[in-house]
Amino acid sequence: MSESAKLIYNNQTFELPIIIGTENEPAIDIRKLRDTTGLVTFDDGYKNTGATESQITFIDGEKGILHYRGYAIDELAEKAEFLEVAYLLIYGHLPNQAEYSDWKNKMIRHSLVHEDVKKVFDAYPTGAHPMGQLMTMMSMMSSFYPNNQDPHNTEEDKNLTIARMMAKMPNLCAMMYKKRIGHPVMYPNNNLGYIENYLRMTFGNPCEDFHVDPVVVSAMNKLLILHADHEQNCSTSTVRMVGSAHTNLWATIAAGISALWGPLHGGANQEVLEMLQDIKNSGNSPKEYVEKVKNKVAGVRLMGFGHRVYKNFDPRAKIIKKACDDILNKLGVNDPLLEIAKELEQIALSDSYFVERKLYPNVDFYSGIIYRALGYPNEMFTVLFALGRLPGWIAQWKEMIESKAPISRPRQIYTGATPRAYVEISKR
Ligand code: CMC
């Protein structure tokens, strides 16, 4: 592969170095372009811009490959525990026995949240969207740890903040659910694992023992692993960008949660379920819905379809579709929405509109049906995405801070008015 690319501009030739990643992806290094040529690059939505070097996640969108730190997603989803994968993403290697038991102990030791947090929940109107609450809670946690704010504190201090955040996240997510249904908050139980604890805090109540169905734990484990990281997507890029200003980790992750909430990103899982419910309630056929999508009726999209990077298939969607069938079978759930989803998928995959645009089901297309079967209301779906994505955000933030990345600050192509004189209001 060439080591440089040539740019001819104003009859002059400029050499631009080529950077090659470990999976042989070549990129033109344009960092000195403005100094040497006076040019900036233009790429709205960063569709073709590498914003960082990273050792965390590799995606080949054409081949439908997804690796975390070199490990294939299929294998991790099949064999690993979510906390192991979280450790892998954040610290770069799979934990050995001692590291893993220390990590799990930390998840127990730091799982309680300050009692004052409950007062903030009380101020929210009933029915408030949980993602808005999660964002507030995450940002608010920074107020409880004012001495651990600086991302350049000691390694020990940084690891303490990471452990606190990972350990408290299930508790915060469960508290929101309890507030929503008007039930008392459940405290964590130190005898349970991370996922079991979360399920108990969500679905258990103080009046009776809670027995966790292993099928549900295994489904949650798989889903959390599949959502754990996805390189430089919208929320992760937000985390890197906000964190690059050396903002504390809590506020930085709160910004990532805001980005994830959007319906084009993590919010799509809720949108998919609502779309399926609308189709069912309207009495229209999936085919009629697809026609509306193709005719671009009032911005109607086939939610859970399409991806910025995957142009062949989303490997996560493949695993989730299979898991969806397995889990519904094991739980004995017969959901008519699953049939609608399968029909929509079948129609879309053989329709030239979707084929030509390379639109395939993404991670959000079937995940909501599983969440629904596990008992979550639609509005909690994106919170579950955030619970899974947290270690990925932390890993990307840590890598960014440790690489001493400069503050993120893109350029623009100004297209507004050229200089003009101020006109007094009486003369306008
Ligand atoms: N339904 C109908 N048409 C679509 C869809 C869709 N879901 N997605 C893209 N298109 C069309 C789009 O209208 C455009 O057509 P045209 O060339 O005629 O203007 C073409 O395909 C290219 O779309 P784009 O919006 O320019 O593509 P993008 O890479 O900017 O957007 C996307 C990617 C994921 C935002 C988009 O596919 C989408 O809106 N999908 C639905 C929302 C969704 O499921 N989001 C979850 C993404 S995966 C989870 C995660 O966020 O990580």
Query: What is the reported pLDDT for 1?
Result: 73
- 55 SS3 class: coil
Q: Ligand 1 centre from 265 Cα, in Å?
A: 10
Query: What is the reported pLDDT for 427?
Result: 97
Residue nearest to ligand 1 atom 47, measured at CA: 265
Half-sphere CA count of 109, side-chain side, radius 13 A: 11
H or E element in which residue 407 lies: none
Q: How far is CA 427 from CA 74, 347, 419, 424, in A?
A: 68, 61, 18, 5
Which of 110, 265, 307, 314 is flagged as catalytic? 307
Q: Is 152 a catalytic residue?
A: no
Per-residue DSSP letter, 206: T
Q: How far apart are CA 240 and CA 31, in angstroms?
A: 18
| Helices (H), ranges, 375-427 | 381-402
Q: Which two tokens stand for residue 66?
A: 């997804």
Asked if 179 and 186 count as a contact pair (C-beta separation under 8 A), the reply is no
Query: What is the reported pLDDT for 82?
Result: 98
Domain 268-374: state its class.
Answer: mainly alpha
Q: Which two tokens stand for residue 93?
A: 């290697």
Q: How far is CA 164 from CA 100, 115, 121, 239, 319, in A?
A: 16, 15, 20, 18, 31
Q: Ligand 1 centre from 260 Cα, in Å?
A: 15
- What are phi and psi for residue 242, nearest 5 degrees? -65, -45
Q: Ligand 1 centre from 236 Cα, in Å?
A: 18
Torsion region of 69: left, alpha or beta (phi above 0 gives left; psi -120 to 50 gives alpha)? left
Query: What is the reported pLDDT for 408?
Result: 97
Residue nearest to ligand 1 atom 39, measured at CA: 264
One digit per residue, the tens of pLDDT, for the chain of length 428 reads 778 999 999 999 999 999 999 999 999 999 999 999 999 999 999 999 999 999 999 999 999 999 999 999 999 999 999 999 999 999 999 999 999 999 999 999 999 999 998 888 888 888 899 999 999 999 999 999 998 889 998 999 999 999 999 999 999 999 999 988 989 999 999 999 999 999 999 999 999 999 988 999 999 999 999 999 999 999 999 999 999 999 999 999 999 999 999 999 999 999 999 999 999 999 989 999 999 999 998 878 999 999 999 998 899 999 999 999 889 999 999 999 999 999 999 999 999 999 999 999 999 999 999 999 999 999 999 999 999 999 999 999 999 999 999 999 999 999 999 999 999 999 99
Q: How far apart are CA 93 and CA 131, in angstroms?
A: 31
Residue nearest to ligand 1 atom 36, measured at CA: 306
Asked if 390 and 139 count as a contact pair (C-beta separation under 8 A), the reply is no
Residue nearest to ligand 1 atom 40, measured at CA: 306
Q: Which of 131, 227, 357 to mutate to test the pocket of ligand 1 (most atoms within 8 A of CB)?
A: 357
Query: What is the reported pLDDT for 293?
Result: 95
Residue nearest to ligand 1 atom 12, measured at CA: 357
Radius of gyration of the chain (CA): 23
For the CA of 304, the nearest atom of ligand 1: 44
Residue nearest to ligand 1 atom 30, measured at CA: 308
Q: Ligand 1 centre from 306 Cα, in Å?
A: 5
CB atoms within 10 A of CB 47: 8
Burial letters 148-175, b for 16+ CB under 10 A, else e: bbebeeeeebbebbbbbbbbbbbbbbbb
Residue nearest to ligand 1 atom 37, measured at CA: 306
Q: Ligand 1 centre from 131 Cα, in Å?
A: 22
Q: Where are the domains of the chain?
A: 4-65, 74-225+233-262+378-402, 268-374
For the CA of 301, the nearest atom of ligand 1: 1
For the domain spanning 74-225+233-262+378-402, the CATH number is 1.10.580.10
Q: Is 213 a catalytic residue?
A: no
For the domain spanning 4-65, the CATH number is 2.20.28
Q: Ligand 1 centre from 302 Cα, in Å?
A: 8
Residues with CB under 6 A from ligand 1: 230, 233, 264-266, 268, 293, 301-308, 357, 359, 362-364
Tokens 């054409």 belong to residue: 62
Residue type at 392 in one-letter notation: G
Asked if 393 and 235 count as a contact pair (C-beta separation under 8 A), the reply is yes
Q: Ligand 1 centre from 318 Cα, in Å?
A: 18
Tokens 């929509």 belong to residue: 344
Q: Which of 301, 314, 364 to mutate to test the pocket of ligand 1 (most atoms within 8 A of CB)?
A: 301
